[in-house]
Amino acid sequence: MSEDQRFGPDRRVTLPGPLALDGGATLSPVEIGYETYGTLNAAKSNAIFITHALTGDQHIASPHPMTGKPGWWARMVGPGKPIDTDRFFVICSNVIGSCMGSSGPGSLAPDGAPFAMRFPVITIRDMVRAQALLLDHLGIDTLHAVVGGSMGGMQALSWAATFPDRVQAALVIASTARHSAQNIAFHEVGRQAIMADPNWRGGQYYADGVSPAAGLAVARMAAHITYLSESGLTEKFGRRLQAREAKTFGFDADFQVESYLRHQGLSFSDRFDANSYLYITRAMDYFDLAEEHGGMLANAFRGSKTRFCLVSFDTDWLYPTSESRNVVHALNASGAPASFVELSAPFGHDSFLLDVPALDRVVSGFLCPEC
């Protein structure tokens, strides 16, 4: 098999459902956009499900179809890489609520018009339930592992709590078992920025293609700051000026950090649907795994045979180490096998996406202890 053939094309499947959602609605049919890498073995025992973050997608290790950029975890997933596609069959599906092929606010409702804000509000657990439907479709009963960072880590935790018999191992990176008040606050700023954009029009902007790009860009800018560490920003940009010798005494992007943020905002709104941003941030804010289990996080994992590994980063102030430790304490209380490491990396929350060799070693070691 040539290297190219290891990587699948952009795949979509329409499953009949119905998918019963936490909010009481049902989704039917359920569209799922997904990608696979590597080969499923005859015993169907080598599947790893990778769950993506808020603005991620299924294009882990193959070029993004809109931007042409390499997959978001190409450094981690591939032949001979820490998640080794010579050994594992790797699956990633776009979360429902998103905009890269799975059912979301931009999908067509039964009446033939886009759902827009008629799309039901979904939860992290709903995303996982849709992924389980995909697994059924692929004929895979049990996952060797589920792996995710950030919102992907929430899904990994939810997978283990919701389908404990289908998950042999869960690797949860830079994540949390519940959104804090500060997490919710930052997301609410983003939602208000989108909804304040007159082009949002209550979410009804699909017909003419004039989307609330400016509001979405502001939302992205605010969120992006939370993905980076203060020291990382200082090291990367400091107070350096952008392609000029002196301050202009105006409102152009004098500072490199301003220029960088503006670019982040604009390029994001080119590739992402504003309504999806509303729905997915809402799902994250609603996430509280303890609440789903009688207020006791340990109950989520009681009797579980899943192996867990939690990884945090010392400069992550979005989901700081204390949040991972909170999960580990619950796992210990529930008797589940759990390992935990706080890694030192300068990049803040985004460390899980970046060049952190220590993370590579933790990932490969956890997924394949015998390798």
Query: How, if at all, do strands 307-313 and 169-173 pair?
Result: parallel
150, 229, 312, 324: the active-site residue: 150
DSSP codes, 252-286? S--BHHHHHHHHHHHHHHHHS-HHHHHHHHHHHHH
The Cα 267–Cα 265 span in angstroms is: 6
**Would you call the peptide bond into 29 cis, given omega within 30 degrees of 0 as the criterion?**
yes
Interface segment toward its own copies; rule CB under 8 A; list 48-56, 62-70, 228-236, 303-311: 228-236
> What kind and span of H or E run contains 222?
helix 213-227
Footprint of its own copies on 93-152 (CB under 8 A): 117, 120-121
Nearer to its own copies (CB atom), residue 82 or residue 120: 120
Count of residues that bind its own copies according to CB under 8 A? 56
C-alpha distances (whole Å) from 243 to each of 236, 249, 259 are: 15, 15, 10
Footprint of its own copies on 141-200 (CB under 8 A): 178-182, 184-186, 188-189, 191-193, 195-198
Residue 150 annotated to the active site: yes
In angstroms, give the least distance from the CB of 146 to its own copies.
25
Residue 316 annotated to the active site: yes
Nearer to its own copies (CB atom), residue 92 or residue 218: 218
Query: Residues 254-293: x/- map of binding to its own copies (CB under 8 A)?
Result: -x-xx--xx--x------------x---x--xx-x--x--
The answer on whether 220 is annotated among ligand-binding residues is yes
Q: Is 343 helix (H, G, I), strand (E, B) or coil?
A: strand
The Cα 97–Cα 306 span in angstroms is: 27
Residue 349 annotated to the active site: yes
- Closest C-alpha to 323, from 355, 278, 366, 290: 290
Which burial class, exposed, middle or buried, applies to 329 when counting CB atoms under 10 A from its CB (0-12, 13-18, 19+)? middle
Select from 217, 311, 327, 363 the one that contacts its own copies (CB under 8 A). Answer: 217
The answer on whether 314 is annotated among ligand-binding residues is no
Which residues line the annotated binding site for substrate?
Answer: 220, 350
Residues in touch with its own copies (CB under 8 A) = 22-24, 117, 120-121, 178-182, 184-186, 188-189, 191-193, 195-198, 214-215, 217-218, 221-222, 225, 228, 230, 233-234, 236-239, 247, 249-251, 253, 255, 257-258, 261-262, 265, 278, 282, 285-286, 288, 291, 317
